[in-house]
Amino acid sequence: MVVKALTTQHSALKIQIWGAKFVGVKLGILGLGTVGTGTVQLLQDAVGRNPLLQEVEIYRVGVRSLDKPRDVKLPQSVVTTDLAAIVNDPAVDIVVELMGGLEPARSLILQAIKNGKHIVTANKAAIARFGAEIFNAANEAGVYVMLEAAVGGGIPVIQPLKQALSVNRIHTVTGIVNGTTNYILTRMQTEGSDFGDVLADAQRLGYAEADPTADIDGLDAADKIAILASLGFGGRIHLEDVYCEGIRQVSKTDITYAEKLGFVIKLLAIAKSQGNNHPGLSVRVHPTFVPKSHPLASINGVYNAILVEGEPIGQVMFFGPGAGAGATASAVTSDILSLVAALESNTAVPNPLLTCRHEDYCQITPVSQLLTRFYARFLTKDHPGVIGKLGTCFGNYGVSLESVVQTGFQGALAEIVVVTHDVKEGDFRQALDEIRHLEAIDSIASILRVL
């Protein structure tokens, strides 16, 4: 009789007897909120889905409060408030972390890994901050950490980047990865409303949190692009290297100008290789003028989309629901499925297409070195030759202008809008510093990057 390790190399926690029936996989789920409930519902209704799901047992579920009404039925003995007991339970094969937040999620994940358990998590905030620690621990313990639901909700993009797309040289990953901000910008665009009004309404309707900071200021998108950049470009990313600007300063005036000039404004999360002659990667989140003809321009409302460009594949776009119980449960369960398949295949060698083995950090290009087009809106006094003076200042720093428009007035002030050709951001900022001191300039009302 041959006895073989069922789990991966180092974590010989279980043994299986050759020829014996696969005994199934026990889940310890941490969290029974929106995503946890959706995941339990999906797993409890396995008929018609991948038959491997029938190998899965919802063994323990950890929550904060036992008294809360739940939308799923689970035996009392399954649900507990003792989450440490779940990650320390020798019977649990996979810990599914769906509680969110940084702590105790991080510590529980690390403890589960130490105990040889595979991890499925939807927690982009924890992965973006503690990914290095978590993946180092997982590689050491010989377990997998799966995170399909951490970016793009139900959209499968993590595994495609790790597997199918990984044979390409990735040039750019560009995403609309935050549904709340996309919903707000879409409504500002279609209704001509102000940011503050739409945000208040989005909060009333449940599309924005009471504290919307993580969404509105781009922090959630920054977590997600750090993860996508790491997978697309094969290196770790320090979250603090991700340049991040949110949408608070986007005004309905800018949205109107964007429309007139043939653009829409989107909060884009971008990871872009600077090319062979410019080593390094720019990783950034900011509101962006997107040409109406661009594939991301038509992604509206709470939907997410991620455009991957690489060689030789060209452009591939992933589109779908970026949040919600069912959609996110689909992504979580796809990870559970991959792990069940890995466990059932009974191999002693970790599958390199499921592991994350980056050790080096990507070289990040500072935003001052970024080559991009800009849109800028100036409020000017009624002085002769203002446009000429603007042009001279820009010319002094090698900034060439694609278009200059003077249409509107804000009270007594004239409004001048310029769109530049590609320019180094540092040069553009220097020109703006000079322009700010021109007698004719009242203020620089907005500056946005153009895709």
Q: What are 314's strand-pairing partners?
A: 310
By CB under 6 A, residue 122 contacts ligand NAP: yes
| Catalytic site residue from 124, 224, 272, 389 | 224
Q: Which stretch binds ligand NAP (CB under 6 A): 9-17, 57-65, 356-364, 425-433?
A: 57-65
Q: b/e per residue, 145-178, with b = 16+ CB within 10 A?
A: bbbbbbbbbbbbbbbbbbeebeebebbbbbbbbb
**String of contacts with ligand NAP for each residue 36-55, x by CB under 6 A:** x-------------------
Q: What's the CA gap between 265 and 254, in Å, rounded?
A: 8
Task: Find the binder of ligand NAP among 29, 32, 283, 416 (CB under 6 A).
Answer: 32
Residue 234 phi/psi, 5-degree rounding, is 65, 40
Task: Find the binder of ligand NAP among 156, 301, 324, 391 (CB under 6 A).
Answer: 324
By CB under 6 A, residue 65 contacts ligand NAP: yes
Are 447 and 425 spatial neighbours (Cβ–Cβ below 8 Å)? no
Q: Which is nearer to ligand NAP, 125 or 367 (CB)?
A: 125
Q: Which is nearer to ligand NAP, 63 or 416 (CB)?
A: 63
By CB under 6 A, residue 120 contacts ligand NAP: no
| Interacting residues with ligand NAP between 12 and 31 (CB under 6 A) | 31
Task: Find the binder of ligand NAP among 6, 29, 52, 63 (CB under 6 A).
Answer: 63
By CB under 6 A, residue 208 contacts ligand NAP: no
Best CA proximity match to 356, nearest among 210, 190, 138, 68: 138
- 118, with CB counted inside 10 A (0-12, 13-18, 19+), is buried
By CB under 6 A, residue 33 contacts ligand NAP: yes
Q: What are 97's strand-pairing partners?
A: 30, 121
β-bridge pairing 441-450 and 281-291: parallel
- Judged by DSSP in three states, 344 sits in helix
Q: Which is nearer to ligand NAP, 32 or 370 (CB)?
A: 32
**String of contacts with ligand NAP for each residue 91-110, x by CB under 6 A:** -------xxx---x------
Q: What's the CA gap between 54 and 259, in Å, rounded?
A: 51
Q: How far is CA 347 from CA 16, 62, 161, 344, in A?
A: 11, 30, 23, 8
| Interacting residues with ligand NAP between 124 and 143 (CB under 6 A) | 124
Neighbours of 17 (CB within 10 A): 12
- Give the nearest distance from C-beta 124 to ligand NAP in angstroms: 6
By CB under 6 A, residue 86 contacts ligand NAP: no
Q: b/e per residue, 294-319, with b = 16+ CB within 10 A?
A: bebbebbebbbbbbbbbeeeeeeebb
Question: Is 260 an annotated catalytic residue?
Answer: no
Q: Which is nearer to ligand NAP, 62 or 131 (CB)?
A: 62
Q: Which is nearer to ligand NAP, 28 or 36 (CB)?
A: 36
By CB under 6 A, residue 68 contacts ligand NAP: yes
Report the run of H or E that residue 266 belongs to, with start and end. Answer: strand 263-273
Positions that interact with ligand NAP (CB under 6 A): 31-36, 62-65, 68, 83, 98-100, 104, 122-124, 149, 153, 323-324, 328
Q: Which residues are catalytic?
A: 224
